[in-house]
């Protein structure tokens, strides 16, 4: 553990007494022994609505949307009051090597330079893999000819911290199914591209703490009244997802009888009709009538619905997922540095970026997820 600290206490961003009340949130940190019990994918564990939870309600008496690998809860009741961690407070947890109870737990923040940071400084540029077709997240402004969006702003904030210049950055656009390969090959230093943290991926890349909470949801034409969400109404329907996405994994687990695999998936004979390299390709398939529905992150789907008023989100989100900044496995100093950037980013820049890019199409989010540290 870093500096021998108790792994089960909240840590403030500035290293202050972990049991002190957070000035940022006014919330008292959770102490060891606080009760935890809620349904999480059918298992007891620490999940629930935390800071920045999206505004969708679920029926009283029903379990919350199932989580991919059970993200930890950051809200609990004690003494009759609900306590919620704020953006400047992180939770330290003990993470066992053979489990994936808290995939969103990351390394403690640090501004110290290590080999990865020194290499970036020697180069003079931070190389970041991004999207260029996700409206409001990472997209090319047709009038200005530049990349803009929520993820782009975050990438620039990291460049500002590491190199002292938000423009000291090289953006490399990469498709959904090439995000991990781009890190492994050294093509990029980081991926900031609505990348969900989950159990499978934490064995492939190193993630920062979570910077956004989303959930998988169904997108379909408004006129398709027979499709009601992620349920039996998908039976026999052609459903599009991006290759290597958590949406594809969800359908592989339970498709409700939907048709979602191409013949020859992952081979040279793959038609890329139902499983596509880029998530936006699914919207094009939907508009052309080649598929009946799309499953994707609601955060992305909301932007697509804003682009095309003929489509809409159906039902409710059926997962709770977190986006993280991804680095190559082993580049711990870079991950710690990104987490240090996020400590400050949560204190104001995050909210300004949300209001600029996302609030119109994804309203009601009160703040970023609280960080969780190993």
Q: Is 325 within 8 Å of 126 (Cβ atoms)?
A: no
Instruction: Spell out the per-residue pLDDT of the chain, length 374, in tens.
Output: 444 444 333 343 344 433 333 333 333 333 333 333 333 333 333 333 333 444 434 344 444 444 444 443 333 333 333 333 455 556 666 555 456 889 999 999 999 999 999 999 999 999 999 999 999 999 999 999 999 999 999 999 999 999 999 999 999 999 988 999 999 999 999 999 999 999 999 999 999 999 999 999 999 999 999 999 999 999 999 999 998 888 999 999 999 999 999 887 777 777 788 999 888 899 999 999 999 999 999 999 998 898 899 999 999 999 999 999 999 999 999 999 999 999 999 999 999 999 999 999 999 999 999 999 99
Regarding whether 204 and 180 lie in a shared domain, the answer is: yes
| Residues of the domain holding 346 | 115-213+322-373
Interacting residues of 62 by C-beta distance below 8 A, sequence separation 6+: none
Model confidence, pTM:
0.72
The CA distance from 1 to 186, in Å, is 28
Indicate the residue among 271, 301, 316 that finishes a domain.
Answer: 316
Q: Is residue 312 part of a domain?
A: yes
In terms of Cα–Cα distance, which of 136, 70, 67 is closest to 299?
Answer: 136
* Token pair recorded at residue 69: 């690998």
Q: Is residue 79 part of a domain?
A: no
Q: Is 36:91 a contact under the CB 8 Å cutoff?
A: no
Identify the H or E element spanning 100: none
308 and 175 share one domain: no
Domain count within the chain? 2
Say whether both 142 and 172 belong to one domain. Answer: yes
Q: Clarify whether residues 207 and 335 are in a common domain.
A: yes
Same domain, 294 and 177: no
Tokens matching residue 2: 């870093």
Q: What is the CATH number of the domain that holds 284?
A: 3.40.190.10
Q: d(Cα 141, Cα 154) in Å, to the nearest integer? A: 17
Radius of gyration of the chain (CA): 20
Residues 283 and 144 in one domain: no
């Amino acid at each position: 553990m870093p500096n021998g600290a108790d792994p089960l206490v909240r840590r403030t961003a500035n290293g202050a007494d972990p049991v002190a009340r957070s000035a940022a949130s006014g919330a008292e940190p959770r102490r060891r022994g606080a009760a935890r019990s809620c349904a999480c994918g059918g298992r007891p564990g620490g999940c629930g609505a935390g800071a920045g939870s999206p505004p969708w309600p679920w029926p009283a008496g029903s379990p919350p949307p199932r989580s991919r690998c059970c993200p930890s809860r950051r809200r609990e009741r004690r003494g009759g009051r609900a306590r919620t961690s704020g953006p400047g407070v992180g939770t330290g947890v003990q993470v066992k090597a053979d489990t994936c109870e808290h995939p969103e737990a990351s390394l403690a923040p640090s501004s110290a330079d290590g080999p990865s940071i020194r290499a970036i400084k020697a180069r003079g540029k931070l190389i970041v893999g991004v999207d260029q077709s996700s409206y409001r997240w990472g997209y090319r402004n047709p009038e200005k000819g530049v990349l803009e969006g929520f993820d782009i702003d975050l990438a620039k904030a990291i460049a500002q911290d590491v190199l002292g210049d938000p423009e000291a950055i090289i953006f490399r656009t990469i498709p959904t199914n090439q995000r991990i390969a781009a890190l492994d090959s050294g093509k990029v230093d980081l991926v900031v591209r609505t990348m969900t943290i989950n159990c499978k991926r934490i064995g492939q890349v190193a993630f920062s703490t979570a910077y956004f909470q989303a959930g998988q949801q169904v997108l379909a034409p408004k006129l398709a009244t027979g499709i009601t969400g992620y349920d039996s109404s998908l039976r026999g329907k052609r459903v599009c997802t991006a290759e290597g996405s958590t949406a594809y994994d969800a359908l592989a687990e339970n498709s409700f009888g939907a048709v979602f695999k191409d013949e020859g998936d992952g081979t040279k004979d793959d038609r890329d009709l139902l499983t596509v390299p880029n998530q936006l390709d699914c919207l094009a398939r939907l508009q052309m009538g080649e598929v009946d529905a799309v499953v994707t992150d609601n955060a992305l789907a909301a932007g697509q619905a804003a682009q095309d008023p003929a489509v809409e989100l159906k039902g409710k989100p059926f997962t709770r997922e977190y986006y993280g900044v991804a680095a190559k496995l082993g580049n711990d100093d870079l991950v710690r540095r990104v987490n240090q950037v996020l400590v400050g980013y949560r204190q104001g820049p995050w909210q300004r970026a949300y209001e600029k890019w996302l609030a119109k199409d994804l309203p009601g989010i009160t703040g970023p997820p609280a960080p969780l540290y190993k």
